[in-house]
Structure 1
Amino acid sequence: MLSQHKADSELLNVYGKLIALIILLIVLFYLSFNYFGSIKQLGQPSIQVEHTRLLNVLGVARSQWLMRSKPDILLLDWYSDSQEHASSTGQVRMAAGGWPIPDETSVAGCRRLLIELLGPGYMKQIDTRFNPDTGVCRYLGESGESISYQTTSGRVIFLTQAR
């Protein structure tokens, strides 16, 4: 009877370890799933970052416009710390109020404006739309967030996707 009791005890001990291992695996699976899900979100370029960059670039463009006596076409001067892009220039049309406007009122004009302001590397992830009735360029990110740029007033509006 003693050996049966010892065998039952060892079997319960093995079952306890097996259950603890299963619980540990479930917890690790849950944590890794959340971790890799957040890495995927971090890996995708956020249009919210581009919104902040666009606001900063528009401020710099307006400053350059004011310093150069309010020209109709502004030559933008960008300087960088990297040797290969030490300086680059682009040009944009400026509204009478001092904000950049597309060279043509179309989707292509809105895309070229964003390329001149932010650079060509971001157009792969951003879908561009133009509303001719309101004069709004809308830039949509992969996550559903968007930036609306009102060409009539220079306002920039960041919209998030409703959840």
Structure 2
Amino acid sequence: MQSQQKADKDLLNIYGRMIVVGLVLVIVAIVGAKYFLTLPQIATRGLEVEHNRFVNVLVMVRSQWLSLGKPQQMQLNWEALDNISNKAESSVVNMNDLGWPQPKLFTAQGCQDLWWQLMGTELDNADLVADYSAKDNRCHYLSPNGNSIDYQLDSGSVIFSAQP
């Protein structure tokens, strides 16, 4: 009779362990699901930060432009701190009559180069793709999740668009 009681006790221990393992798996699944559901929001927040940084850099460049007497071109000195580029001409930015930085070429590549000149990072590092719209005269920077930053070259307006 004792062997039957021992077998029953062992069976109850196994059921108890199965229940504990099941509960742990459910908790891990819930935490994992919440984590993966928030990843798109984190990516959106990253582009929002880039948007704010882009706006701040534009304001700083325009302020320099005003203080230097409204030149047609400006040397961006903060690139020298990084030693990323050996080309001195890459740090020269064309300015429009209202003091907003312009790409050297009005193409997608020109917008990509302008991002690098202003932000100091490649678009690949920010997971963005550059495009130029001749109709609106704007640079469009699109992230993989559909969020975007638009830089209106005429007015200096920067618009962040988030996908719902």
> TM-score normalised by the shorter chain: which range applies?
0.7 to 0.9
- Equivalent position of 1:111 in the other structure: 112
CA distance in 2, matches of 1:26, 1:43: 27
* Identical residues among aligned pairs (%): 36
After superposition, the Cα gap between the structure-2 partners of 1:143 and 1:122, relative to the gap in structure 1 and judged at 3 Å, is farther
Residue type of the alignment partner of 2:12: L
- Cα-Cα RMSD: 3.2
Equivalent pair of 1:126/1:139 in contact (CA under 8 Å): yes
Q: How does 1:58-77 map to 2 (within 5 A)?
A: 58-77=58-77
Q: Structure 2: where are the runs of 5+ without partners?
A: none
Q: Secondary structure at the match of 1:71?
A: coil
- TM-score computed with the length of structure 1 as normaliser: 0.77
Map Cα deviations across residues 10-56 of structure 1 (whole Å, 9 max, x no partner). 42332122212221133234424644776798699932222121111
Map of 1:153 onto structure 2:
155
* TM-score for the superposition, normalised by structure 2: 0.77
Compare the two structures and name the one with the higher strand fraction: 1
- Counterparts in 2 of 1:138 and 1:75: CA distance versus 1, 3 Å: same
Query: C-alpha displacement at 1:161, in angstroms?
Result: 1.6
Secondary structure of 1:109's partner? helix
Higher helix share: 2
2:72 and 2:94 in contact (8 A); partners too = yes
